[in-house]
Amino acid sequence: MTTPVVRCRVAPSPSGFLHIGTAKAALYNWLFARSHGGTFILRLEDTDAERTDEQYVHAMCEGFKWLGIEWDEGPEFGDEPEKGEYGPYRQSQRRDLYSREAARLVAEGKAYRCYCTKEELDAQRELAAKEKRPPRYSGKCRNLTEEEIAVKGDAPFAIRFRVPEGETLIDDIIQGPVRIKNKEYDDFIIVKSNGDAIFHLAVVVDDGLMKITHVIRGDDHLTNAGRHVMLFNALGYPLPQFAHHPLIHDEQGRKYSKRLHGANVLDWREDGYLPETMINYISLLGWTSEEEGKEFYTLEELKQLFTLKRLTKSPARFDRKKLDWLNGQHIRMLTVEGLCDRVLPLLRNAGFAVDEKPREWLIEMAAICQEKIPTLNQIVPYTDFFFVTPEGYDEKGERKFFRKENSLKALETALQCMNGLSEWTVESLKASYEQAAQEKELKIGALVNGTRLALTGKTVGPGLYELAKLLGREESIGRMQVAIEYVKTSGEESS
């Protein structure tokens, strides 16, 4: 027997943005497909016309694209045509298939027409509520004869699945075997009286006809899986393997609400996180590698290592600190050219004249920030002084580095160092500062921090010698003179 090729899918409902939980389901399916030479399919569950909006479809697909989760088969998106042989990949375009398969179930006696009216069903539900028992379909239309059906003429009808006797087994890779007695289900509707297929039928017909081999999705669907297994069997499709993974919880341990910042994957792009970080981070929200303690993974590593066996059962809590740490690590992994390309649009957006600078200068600027910035967005406060002369000085910094007893001496010494240099390099700046510190009995910190405040207006930023080198001799000396003048003419020295 040949092993079937892995085919897995994500099937989001485009009723909003790409939620981080949907991204997790997509990522696990995608990594699993990639690690097995399989196919990853994007299918849009867009049957709820009222909640579906093309704008949402776009935002969601953009989220996938940003993360780099490319689908091998899926719907048209932007300039990309639909791809794959099992389309269409939007449920709204698959209605005929659902009707055909539902009709087949009816013809085979596995489903039946139900003529009960809404009023009748509501009354039964109310009675059940009054009697404090779970509502159950009465079974009124389960065994209608041909004659009884003929009498109904063209009265509207829904189609109900005839739940067979016995037991249903969901052999879940993560949850283990889950056995449900079929008695617990009543005959459920699979096609509404207006002809629309219910989610359970649509998802199973799609998975069946698209030859899906693995259904990896959130454990909020575990309660649906019993119905799905019965439908797979009734329709005669091979059963896929199920893996229901826990949902993502927020830092307080609650389900990650749609309303929280960061629920939308693209919020992280806005905040300056790398897609590489998000892939790494999301993959760890429910999966562990065999290498204990390792948390930093490149995409390539994940594609090699990802296995369903190591998915965990307990819900994963969002941990912002870990995410930030990972982002710093991924920023350091970029080539300097790569980092430069990613930060340029941010600097341009901030209104800085980056295009007037030579490429080599920009790359150097990115390089001196690479070890420092926790998010791409931080490039702006880390480099703004290159483009705009500081208009003032950080208040705390001023007290610490401009108003102490030795402050003026330190600034003047620093200026002398700058003036005395024959070449303007990181090494010569450093050597001259170190020598002057010794000779003048100043702490190197006083020299460095005072200079930083004078050149950038701030107390944090890229390495001082590196930033001074890039800022240039003339500009640096000019800013030192301004600062010295400022210290001399304003404020009182404090101890």
Query: Please, what is the Cα angle at 61 between 57 and 64, to 5 degrees?
Result: 150
Query: Which residue, 142 or 221, is less far from ligand GLU as judged by CB?
Result: 221
Give the nearest distance from C-beta 457 to ligand GLU in angstroms: 49
Give the nearest distance from C-beta 288 to ligand GLU in angstroms: 23
- Going by C-alpha positions, the residue among 368, 370, 276, 264 that lies closest to residue 327 is 276
How many CA atoms does the CB half-sphere of 284 hold within 13 Å? 22
Residue of 140, 181, 255, 258 marked catalytic: 258
What is the distance, to the nearest Å, from the Cα of residue 391 to the centroid of all Cα atoms in its chain? 38
Identify which range of 10-18, 57-65, 345-353, 378-386 contacts ligand GLU by CB under 6 A. 10-18
Give the nearest distance from C-beta 316 to ligand GLU in angstroms: 17
What would the two tokens of residue 139 be?
């079974």
From residue 16 to residue 45, the character string flagging contacts with ligand GLU as x (rule: CB under 6 A) and all else as - is ------x----------------------x
Distances (CA, A) of 443 to 52, 407, 493: 64, 11, 18
**Is 258 one of the catalytic residues?**
yes
Give the nearest distance from C-beta 207 to ligand GLU in angstroms: 7
Give the nearest distance from C-beta 81 to ligand GLU in angstroms: 23
* Residue 225 and residue 204 in contact, taking contact as beta carbons nearer than 8 Å: no
- Going by C-alpha positions, the residue among 366, 364, 420, 456 that lies closest to residue 464 is 456
Pairing of β 39-42 and β 7-10:
parallel
From residue 44 to residue 73, the character string flagging contacts with ligand GLU as x (rule: CB under 6 A) and all else as - is -x----------------------------
Separation CA 299–CA 280 (nearest Å): 7
Distances (CA, A) of 216 to 24, 38, 459: 10, 14, 49
Identify which range of 11-19, 49-57, 80-88, 287-295 contacts ligand GLU by CB under 6 A. 11-19
Tokens 């050149």 locate to 455
* Residues between 103 and 142 that touch ligand GLU (CB under 6 A): none
Size of the site for ligand GLU (CB under 6 A): 8
Which of 8, 11, 191, 366 lies at the binding interface for ligand GLU (CB under 6 A)? 11
Which of 7, 8, 12, 455 lies at the binding interface for ligand GLU (CB under 6 A)? 12
Rg of the chain, C-alpha, whole Å: 32
Phi–psi pair at 190, nearest 5 degrees: -115, -25
Separation CA 124–CA 477 (nearest Å): 87
* Residues between 186 and 215 that touch ligand GLU (CB under 6 A): 203
Separation CA 64–CA 69 (nearest Å): 5
**Contact between 217 and ligand GLU per CB under 6 A:** yes
Give the nearest distance from C-beta 45 to ligand GLU in angstroms: 4
Give the nearest distance from C-beta 44 to ligand GLU in angstroms: 9
Residue type at 303?
Answer: K
**Contact between 365 and ligand GLU per CB under 6 A:** no
Query: Which residue, 216 or 411, is less far from ligand GLU as judged by CB?
Result: 216
**Contact between 221 and ligand GLU per CB under 6 A:** yes
What would the two tokens of residue 138 be?
């009465």
Query: Which residues form the catalytic set?
Result: 258
Residues of the shown chain interacting with ligand GLU in the complex, contacts defined by CB under 6 A: 11-13, 22, 45, 203, 217, 221
